Structure 1
Amino acid sequence: MTKYFLQKTLSQSVSVSGTGVHSGKQTHLTIHPAPENHGIKFRRIDLPGTQDIPALFKRVVDTSLATVLGANGAIVSTIEHLMASFAGLGIDNAMVEVDDYEIPIMDGSAGIFTQSITNAGIMEQTAPKHFLIVKKPIKIVDNDKYVMVYPEPCFKITCKIDFQHPLIGEQELTFDRAKNNFEKDISHARTFGFIKDIELLKKFSLGKGGSLDNAIIIDKDRILNEEGLRYPDEFVRHKLLDSLGDFSLLGMPIQGHIITRKSGHTLNHLFIESFLKNKNAWETGPTKME
């Protein structure tokens, strides 16, 4: 009998609270289990009667500082770390209720979301999981930056970064779903920023909730966080985490190998747009378990 990968949801609801990195507001978030073929959706419980917002590329309304989804006047912002947790844990179906527009930054990583979901339990459902199965390479280039995907029998993502800073420089990392553990290897990598950029954000009343508790802050020649880094290459691990969150907005997991170089939310979303237009380069369907 042929066995396929099956869809997954949470075994029970779980709640977390935290501060929005840009708004500085306290936000409460509850993740509920959802039925098969539901997908990931967001509900603004502070705006009763508004439409649920599916976590899909066509709902992206901004990528300048974070990934923002919108529908009929309601938005939900800074979703990438939570979406990375869903993607990394293989969660297909969930309803996320929030009482403000910005998903809390927590400690700057996906670790608290990931641990909360794992503690709640992950339940396999009966319907097969559908994949976007890559048949031909697709690549999008912007000067020395690019995002590409090519066929591979499982999901892999390689992230390459290059910052002209002595504490970062060039870093590269591959995450292979079949071999690596998302919770251990990726989820705890924190967002990072340069002190000069943070001062600029605050001038424009952004980054109100940012602090050393939820980001790695870098000066000219040192890291300001007393505890230092969680991984020697935490910077590229976080960029990979962000990319997982961005690419999850395709609505189905990819069967293929994604490679990014110096990419960010905007280029990732341009790649998704190109990917969806190249319908001869992929097909959808369930995947057999080996």
Structure 2
Amino acid sequence: MFQTTILNEVKNIGIGLHKGSAINITLSPLDANSGVVFYRSDLNKYYKANYENVINTQMATVIGDKDGFISTIEHLMSALHAYGIDNILISIDANEVPVFDGSSLAFCDMLERAQITKLSARKQVYVLKKEVKVEENAKFALLSATNEPSYDFTINFNHKLIAKQDYKFTFNKVNFIKEIASARTFGFLKDVQALKSKGLALGGSLENAIVLNDDKILNPEGLRFENEFVRHKILDAIGDLYMLGKPVFANYKAYASSHDLNHKLTLKMLENPSSYELVTLDSNSKELLKALS
């Protein structure tokens, strides 16, 4: 299996979740072994999307340095992970990726329009050999060895419309598009109001998030899935794990995990070289190739 990029440059415009202003985004092809690279056109700064450049994980996955940052990259990273994109340039003219409808659908549409093309270099993947786990009180996230990568997530919110939800799905592009890509981010009205009072979430609306008050879902169209909340948590986790810089061939399992815990999981995996193997895919990697196709 060879590395990939996109065939055509594609563009879109969307609203930023926090600042509420229009943001231009362009996806462009990149050469082999370049990775996923973000470009802040307003700053003329490049940031590689990997664990080393993560500077904040409180409300989103944020990359950057002392000169600037790019926030809310996880929904785009999730789509790139699922589509198997190894190399791509993402140009934006603001400090956050457009939120669009709060899911990965717009990014999937851009990738479909761009089309995927193979490069001459072989693809590399992390293959888990031993379990890696991080815990914080009752919360945890873990990676384990597998022959068929999957994501298994449980959430438990003190809200009658969410409560305890769990979902497991086999990770591949087809299943991602069908089961995960359209699951939207969500928040509580009181929290949104508090954030807006601090100059954050200014672009947040019923157009780009599921919003709940104490009694009901405020979006007139309702949910896309009965368990859309936990599906979106899986969407986030897929994007967060792609901050490893390469796909990870593993089972992911979590209870009440977050961007922060997912980031700590990637760091712990890399701190334990005996827990994984970096495999270059070739004609001898038949089982891996089958699971990744």
TM-score normalized by the length of structure 2: 0.94
Equivalence for 2:29: 33
Deviation at 1:260, TM superposition (A): 1.2
Deviation at 1:202, TM superposition (A): 1.1
Equivalence for 2:111: 117
Equivalence for 1:145: 139
**1:87 and 2:84 equivalent?**
no
Deviation at 1:117, TM superposition (A): 0.7
Determine which of 210, 216, 229 is the counterpart of 2:210.
216
Aligned length: 284
Distance 2:156 2:202 in 1: 27
Which letter does structure 1 place at the counterpart of 2:251?
H
Deviation at 1:90, TM superposition (A): 1.0
Q: Call closer, same or farther: CA 1:173–1:180 in 2, change over 3 Å.
A: farther
Which letter does structure 2 place at the counterpart of 1:134?
L
Which letter does structure 2 place at the counterpart of 1:130?
Q
* Stretch moving more, 166-175 or 90-99: 166-175
Instruction: Note the alpha carbon deviations across 1:92-143, whole angstroms, 9 max, x for none.
Output: 1100111111111101111011111112211122322111111111111111
- Unmatched 5+ residue regions in structure 1? none
Question: Which secondary structure does the structure 2 equivalent of 1:196 belong to?
Answer: helix
Which letter does structure 1 place at the counterpart of 2:244?
L
* Stretch moving more, 140-149 or 167-176: 167-176
Q: Call closer, same or farther: CA 1:178–1:120 in 2, change over 3 Å.
A: closer
Question: Which secondary structure does the structure 1 equivalent of 2:194 belong to?
Answer: helix
Equivalence for 2:90: 96
Does the Cα contact within 8 Å between 1:29 and 1:98 map onto a contact in 2?
yes
Deviation at 1:228, TM superposition (A): 0.4
* Stretch moving more, 240-249 or 65-74: 65-74
Instruction: Note the alpha carbon deviations across 1:153-189, whole angstroms, 9 max, x for none.
Output: 2322211111121111111112212585212211111
Percent of aligned pairs with the same residue? Answer: 38
**1:249 and 2:234 equivalent?**
no
Equivalence for 1:234: 228
Deviation at 1:8, TM superposition (A): 1.5
Q: How does 1:269-288 map to 2 (within 5 A)?
A: 269-287=263-281, 288=285
Distance 1:191 1:233 in 2: 12
Deviation at 1:56, TM superposition (A): 0.4
Which letter does structure 2 place at the counterpart of 1:44?
R
**1:168 and 2:159 equivalent?**
no
Does the Cα contact within 8 Å between 1:146 and 1:262 map onto a contact in 2?
yes
Does the Cα contact within 8 Å between 1:20 and 1:26 map onto a contact in 2?
yes
Equivalence for 2:8: 12
CA RMSD after TM alignment: 1.3
Does the Cα contact within 8 Å between 1:109 and 1:238 map onto a contact in 2?
yes
Does the Cα contact within 8 Å between 1:154 and 1:178 map onto a contact in 2?
no
Instruction: Note the alpha carbon deviations across 1:204-258, whole angstroms, 9 max, x for none.
Output: 1111000000000011121000000111111111100011111100001111101
Q: Call closer, same or farther: CA 1:263–1:127 in 2, change over 3 Å.
A: same
Determine which of 195, 213, 229 is the counterpart of 1:201.
195
Instruction: Note the alpha carbon deviations across 1:67-95, whole angstroms, 9 max, x for none.
Output: 11013512111101111110111111100
Q: Call closer, same or farther: CA 1:179–1:18 in 2, change over 3 Å.
A: closer
Give the ranges of 4+ consecutive aligned residues of structure 1 lying more than 4 Å apart after TM superposition.
none
Which letter does structure 1 place at the counterpart of 2:264?
L
Does the Cα contact within 8 Å between 2:82 and 2:173 map onto a contact in 1?
no
Equivalence for 1:156: 150
Does the Cα contact within 8 Å between 1:40 and 1:95 map onto a contact in 2?
yes
TM-score normalized by the length of structure 1: 0.95
Which letter does structure 2 place at the counterpart of 1:202?
K
Question: Which secondary structure does the structure 1 equivalent of 2:191 belong to?
Answer: helix
Which letter does structure 2 place at the counterpart of 1:146?
F
Does the Cα contact within 8 Å between 1:138 and 1:275 map onto a contact in 2?
yes
Determine which of 102, 107, 126 is the counterpart of 1:108.
102
Distance 1:129 1:154 in 2: 18
Does the Cα contact within 8 Å between 2:151 and 2:252 map onto a contact in 1?
yes
- Unmatched 5+ residue regions in structure 2? none
